Amino acid sequence: MQKKRLLTGVQPSGTTHIGNYFGALKPFVAAYGDYESMLMVADYHALTTLKDPREVRDNVLNAVKDYIAIGVDPKRATIFQQSAIPEHTELAWILECQVTVPFLMQAHAYKDKVAKGLEANAGLFCYPMLMAADILLYDTDVVPVGADQRQHVEYAREAAAKFNAAYGDTFKEPEEKILRSVAIVPGTDGKKMSKSYGNTIPLFGNADEIHKAVMGILTDSKGESPENVYAIHRLIKDETEIASLYKANKGKYKVVKEALAADIEALVAPMRERRESISDADVIRILKDGAQKARGQAEAKMKIVREKVGVTI
Ligand code: ADP
Ligand code: TRP
């Protein structure tokens, strides 16, 4: 039986932390082998926020290294860069012509920015149609995303339905797949771990950086068991394994933090080592191969789409 197509996108937007690992990277590694998988680095999406070209370039290379280091085999997944396939932006334009301004105004990425009193660029406004193009070009069946991206997958479905209704059956309507097996990982201050809050524990930091971040976890001095430390520890170790540690060390925050830092280090060390063995040249080769594989399908689909909308003569 033919495997279903899975496609996900990762925005190359900064240093990966253990919240990203447990919330996005680890669930992807667990699932991708069951599908015909595509992992796309969404560098055009990142341009809605990143302005430094060097940062964009470095982040693309780093995002690919992260996924390979945690166990994604480039032979078993097509790993490619969004900007390498111009059909993505081309289809995005055509989809933008199918949907209305009030529809796009309800999309989270845009709405959240405006709610914060910030000015959104037009790219951010149109972002869901670029994401829809990413998904629809490849007849994607399932799209693993975090809960925050669920609505954007619904937008892709809606765009496909609108196009199909206007021009006849062309696109497969995708399903979102929430792969999250963990709750939100708390940061060192107890709020959601996020690079925008500066409360992260870096996934590929060295032992000292991990130790420093763990020692900085805020603890409530009234409680017996430091909640934030425990919540992170539970992601790494079985409840039964750590129950006795926390019981034997009630109130001794330093001891449990030292244990957590050591456990994170044990988890991360082999991945960090693998990551260090991947060169920029390796990544560039992987992205070229991936683009080559993706391109054929994107071109074939766009040929059909161009004919349907009437821009061929
Ligand atoms: P950040 O909040 O640091 O900017 P992103 O929004 O770039 O992170 O998230 C990338 C992926 O990691 C998303 O799929 C998101 O759901 C997941 N993720 C980010 N932070 C967490 C967290 N604290 N707990 C669980 N998953 C997270
Ligand atoms: N917008 C997604 C995010 O910020 C990234 C993304 C771009 C994506 N294109 C995609 C995710 C296609 C899934 C499918 O996380």
Mean residue pLDDT across the chain: 93
Instruction: Give pLDDT, residue 181.
Output: 57
Atom 10 in ligand 2: residue holding the nearest Cα: 9
Is the distance from the beta carbon of residue 196 to the nearest atom of ligand 1 less than 6 Å?
yes
Q: What are phi and psi of 181, to 5 degrees?
A: -100, -5
Higher per-residue pLDDT: 52 or 145: 52
Instruction: Give pLDDT, residue 250.
Output: 84
pLDDT digits (tens, 9 = 90+) for 79-91: 999 999 999 999 9
Q: Which one from 172, 192, 212, 237 is the annotated catalytic residue?
A: 192
Is the distance from the beta carbon of residue 148 to the nearest atom of ligand 1 less than 6 Å?
yes
CA of 310 to the centre of ligand 1 (A): 41
H or E stretch covering 40: strand 36-41
CATH among 3.40.50.1860, 3.40.50.620, 3.90.230.10, 2.40.50.180 for 5-183+279-309: 3.40.50.620
Fold of 195-275: Tyrosyl-Transfer RNA Synthetase (1.10.240)
pLDDT at 140 exceeding the cut of 90: yes
Q: Which amino acid makes up residue 242? A: I
Atom of ligand 2 minimally distant from the CA of 7: 14
pLDDT at 41 exceeding the cut of 80: yes
Is the distance from the beta carbon of residue 20 to the nearest atom of ligand 1 less than 6 Å?
yes
pLDDT at 5 exceeding the cut of 80: yes
Counting ligand 2 atoms within 8 A of each CB, the residue from 89, 135, 149, 177 with the most, and so the one to mutate, is 149
Instruction: Give pLDDT, residue 67.
Output: 97
- How many beta carbons lie within 10 A of that of residue 222, not counting itself? 5
Instruction: Give pLDDT, residue 313.
Output: 82
pLDDT digits (tens, 9 = 90+) for 224-270: 668 889 989 999 998 888 888 888 888 888 999 999 999 999 999 99
As a three-state string, the secondary structure of 180-232 is CCCCCCECCCCCECCHHHCCCCECCCCHHHHHHHHHCCCCCCCCCCCHHHHHH
Atom 1 in ligand 1: residue holding the nearest Cα: 194
Q: How far apart are CA 159 and CA 129, in angstroms?
A: 8
List the chain domain ranges.
5-183+279-309, 195-275
pLDDT at 285 exceeding the cut of 70: yes
Q: Which one from 4, 113, 237, 308 is the annotated catalytic residue?
A: 113
Residue 257 falls in the annotated catalytic set? no
Residue 192 falls in the annotated catalytic set? yes
Sheet holding 36-41, edge to edge: 77-81, 36-41, 5-10, 142-145, 175-178
CA of 224 to the centre of ligand 2 (A): 41
CA of 168 to the centre of ligand 2 (A): 26
Q: How far apart are CA 241 and CA 227, in angstroms?
A: 16
How is residue 303 written in tokens? 């040929």
Instruction: Supply the pTM of this predicted model.
Output: 0.93
Atom 2 in ligand 1: residue holding the nearest Cα: 194
∠ CA 121-124-128, rounded to 5°? 155
Lowest mean pLDDT among 43-57, 171-185, 198-212: 171-185
How is residue 208 written in tokens? 């000292």
Residue 113 falls in the annotated catalytic set? yes
For the segment 113-136, the average pLDDT, to the nearest whole number, is 96
pLDDT digits (tens, 9 = 90+) for 64-76: 999 999 999 999 9
Confidence tier at 180 by pLDDT (50, 70, 90): low
Q: What are phi and psi of 291, to 5 degrees?
A: -65, -40
Confidence tier at 60 by pLDDT (50, 70, 90): very high
